[in-house]
Structure 1
Amino acid sequence: MSQFIERLPKVELHMHIEGSMEPEMLLQLADKNKITLPYADLDAVKAAYNFADLAAFVDLYIKGTEVVCDAEDFYTITMEYLKKCHQENILHTEIFCDIRTYVDRGYAPEMVIEGIDAGFKAAYQEFGITGGMMPCFIRHLGAEPAMQDLDMLLRFKDKILAIGLAAVEVGFPPSMFTDVFDRVRAEGIPVVAHAGEEGSPDYIWSAIRDIKVDRIDHGVRCLEDAQLVEYLKQKEIPLTVCPCSNVSLNVFERMEDHVLPQMLEAGLKVTVNSDDPAHFGAYLSENLTAVQNHCGVTDQQLLQMQQNAVDASFATPDRKAELHQRLAEI
């Protein structure tokens, strides 16, 4: 890691909390909650983290959700990630979670919301890190469960930064969820959506037109549609790009093939993020290092993307001003 990246104040806007669970934490929580995993020891778990395809990644991710059984567990994994943020000079972070996975297993939504919220409160006291959570609807489950999830989430409105749309993209366009996101926006809650990762630019257009997103998660396929690129540029719609994730999941074969430089050249409001850092072996600093080493991204462009991230965040105006000041001092 370069000295510039090390001292650069950072903001992260696209990270799934279970995706920050390292092998040691997976085993720790499994032992605590008496969950049997199909791994003989730590080495076997680490081997599983070197997955070869999307199916193996999904299986590993699900195993991670199975060992999380109460609010204390969510607090533990949230604090572990936020300690990593402190080490990496991440000053503000906004993380994804979902409640449907846990509610379907008979748990109360409070376990997710209160556990993560307690982690952020502790990290603010200890490290000064700000941020919060963005619950997501699981798109391949359909609109009806999403509406049910919203009914639950509105009880915790004061603890939510935004509501997102995540999971399997192709076949489940944002247009399926127009009614539920109309309600989200009527409640004054910002909207984000995974779009344009595996799905075509049409999925990005749908996120914009049908559910009126405040920012796009991923969005790397926008370059296939010149009109879309121009719209994203003119409206300054942020894109939370996850380079190492994209390579790990074969969106791009190599980091050298990533379109991030072209997105920057097109004037798009790009940010860099880690997505599922424990699973992909790359936290935010490693992602920044990768795009610098393999995509030719300059220090000035890294700085610009952090400025973009501050602008795109759901931090308070005062906090945004503080973060911009920190970036101006580097």
Structure 2
Amino acid sequence: MSETAAEDTASGTGESVIELFQLPKAELHLHIEGTLEPGLAFELAHRNRVTLPFGSVEDLASRYRFENLRGFLDLYYTTMAVLRTEDDFADLARAYLGRAKAQGVRHAEVFFDLQAHLRRGVPAEAVVDGLSAALAEAEHDAGITGGLILCFLRDLPVADADAALTAAMPRVDRLLGVGLDSAELGHPPGPFAPVFRRAREAGLRAVAHAGEEAPAAYIQEALDTLGVERVDHGIRAVDDPRLIERLVTGRVPLTVCPLSNVRLKTVGSLREHPLPELMDLGVVVTVNSDDPAYFGGYVADNFLALSREAGLTLRAAERLARNSIAASFVTPGRAASLIAEVDRWAHAVRDRPPGRPAAGPPY
């Protein structure tokens, strides 16, 4: 770690726990299906008379251990079978947004895998309307803004992605953007260029998973062929200095998911994570939770783990929170409001007496 990065990531203390949870932040890399906790999975299975291949909530929870991305995806799609109705998707999003509020999330851009639901016979409107209803409630009741990003499954044919976009078009006004996810190796971004072009023509923003398992070349390809504005994961960018220069010059954000990277073994540990190096190089890095029910924590839990295991300081956490707002697709007015919340948090943290954690929310 260079001297500059070390300065921002010196050892954190237990007193920073409250502040990290209170830190106002945007979450930009969150798969709503990946927030399905074992208890809710069984509750929805009972509601919909779906039989899960697990003996109990505890049995399912014990399966949340993976050797790789493929192993995770197999369980992810199995538990997803309990999601059938608009109410199911609304309840799923409500549960996430409740946890997100407690972890300082003020804006959430939520991924959903429409193709996986369409293939089970669930209509697009049930998915979009349920998720949208929960987001609207969160904005009204908790002041959490957000939006939906329809992710295409890269390990399915391009025609399937195009059909999903067609199915979503009657609800396009409720979508923020499109993305690309699922198993990355052997599934480069380029073939999906026509679908992304069509989405952009409909006024949708564009993001894509790249450079998590696959090499930095996938990041370059996503930028060149899909026209993405943000790269999800993107940690392999550290392997290509010219790509780093492009990301820094173009202010292209990376939505990094530290606990996910460790759980899926794309990095060995948080101490080995390239996030400090990316920050030091000037990349606009954000911290997110990916699939928190499966990967050991929600977004503030990721901040806390970085503090405890990689020495992330409150000053560096503040920088990451500001990055998350800059990297989001919020309006300029909402961005200014969120930055003001971070400013108040920062002042409260800096002004409190040494050794004493903040007594309550500083905003």
Q: TM-score range by the shorter chain?
A: over 0.9
Q: Deviations over 1:183-206 (max 9, x none)?
A: 112222110000000111110000
Alpha-carbon spacing, 1:298–1:255, altered in 2? closer, same or farther (3 Å): same
Equivalent residue in structure 2 for 1:140, among 152, 155, 162: 155
1:85 aligns with 2:100: yes
1:270 aligns with 2:285: yes
User: Does structure 2 retain, via aligned residues, the 8 Å contact 1:142–1:176?
Assistant: no
Percent identity between matched residues is 38
2:207 aligns to what? 192
Normalised TM-score (structure 1): 0.97
Counterpart Cα distance in 2 of 1:279 and 1:43: 14
Displacement of 1:125 in angstroms is 1.6
Question: What secondary structure, in the 3-state scheme, does the structure 2 residue paired with 1:15 have?
Answer: strand
Equivalent residue in structure 2 for 1:60, among 75, 84, 92: 75
- Written as runs of structure 1 = structure 2, the 5 A alignment for 1:273-312 is 273-312=288-327
Counterpart Cα distance in 2 of 1:4 and 1:294: 17
1:25 aligns to what? 40
Displacement of 1:304 in angstroms is 0.9
**Matched letter for residue 168 of structure 2:** L
Unaligned runs of 5+ residues in structure 1 are: none
Displacement of 1:55 in angstroms is 4.0
User: Does structure 2 retain, via aligned residues, the 8 Å contact 1:218–1:241?
Assistant: yes
How many residues align? The count is 330
Counterpart Cα distance in 2 of 1:304 and 1:140: 35
1:178 aligns to what? 193
Counterpart Cα distance in 2 of 1:51 and 1:225: 28
Displacement of 1:92 in angstroms is 0.6
Equivalent residue in structure 2 for 1:210, among 218, 225, 229: 225
Alpha-carbon spacing, 1:310–1:199, altered in 2? closer, same or farther (3 Å): same
Higher relative contact order (CA 8 A, sep 6+): 2
**Matched letter for residue 10 of structure 1:** K
Q: Deviations over 1:75-120 (max 9, x none)?
A: 0000000011111121111111021111112221101100000010
Counterpart Cα distance in 2 of 1:144 and 1:56: 25
Question: What secondary structure, in the 3-state scheme, does the structure 2 residue paired with 1:80 have?
Answer: helix
Computing the radius of gyration over CA atoms, which structure comes out larger, 1 or 2? 2
Displacement of 1:64 in angstroms is 2.0
1:45 aligns with 2:60: yes
Displacement of 1:52 in angstroms is 4.5
1:233 aligns to what? 248
Counterpart Cα distance in 1 of 2:334 and 2:168: 25
**Matched letter for residue 96 of structure 1:** F
Q: Deviations over 1:196-233 (max 9, x none)?
A: 00111110000100011010000000010000000000
1:131 aligns to what? 146
Question: Bigger shift: 116-125 or 46-55?
Answer: 46-55
Counterpart Cα distance in 2 of 1:36 and 1:52: 25
2:236 aligns to what? 221
Displacement of 1:53 in angstroms is 4.3
2:177 aligns to what? 162
Question: What secondary structure, in the 3-state scheme, does the structure 1 residue paired with 2:205 have?
Answer: coil
User: Does structure 2 retain, via aligned residues, the 8 Å contact 1:261–1:296?
Assistant: no
Q: Deviations over 1:18-66 (max 9, x none)?
A: 1111110011011111111121122212211234444432222012210
User: Does structure 1 retain, via aligned residues, the 8 Å contact 2:115–2:164?
Assistant: yes
Question: What secondary structure, in the 3-state scheme, does the structure 1 residue paired with 2:259 have?
Answer: helix
Counterpart Cα distance in 2 of 1:50 and 1:169: 20
Question: Bigger shift: 281-290 or 56-65?
Answer: 56-65
Question: Bigger shift: 132-141 or 218-227?
Answer: 132-141
Alpha-carbon spacing, 1:202–1:55, altered in 2? closer, same or farther (3 Å): closer
2:167 aligns to what? 152
2:110 aligns to what? 95
Counterpart Cα distance in 1 of 2:40 and 2:122: 21
Q: Deviations over 1:129-169 (max 9, x none)?
A: 10021011111112111111121222211111110011111
Question: What secondary structure, in the 3-state scheme, does the structure 1 residue paired with 2:30 have?
Answer: coil
User: Does structure 1 retain, via aligned residues, the 8 Å contact 2:230–2:252?
Assistant: yes
Question: What secondary structure, in the 3-state scheme, does the structure 1 residue paired with 2:276 have?
Answer: helix
User: Does structure 1 retain, via aligned residues, the 8 Å contact 2:69–2:183?
Assistant: no
Question: Bigger shift: 208-217 or 141-150?
Answer: 141-150
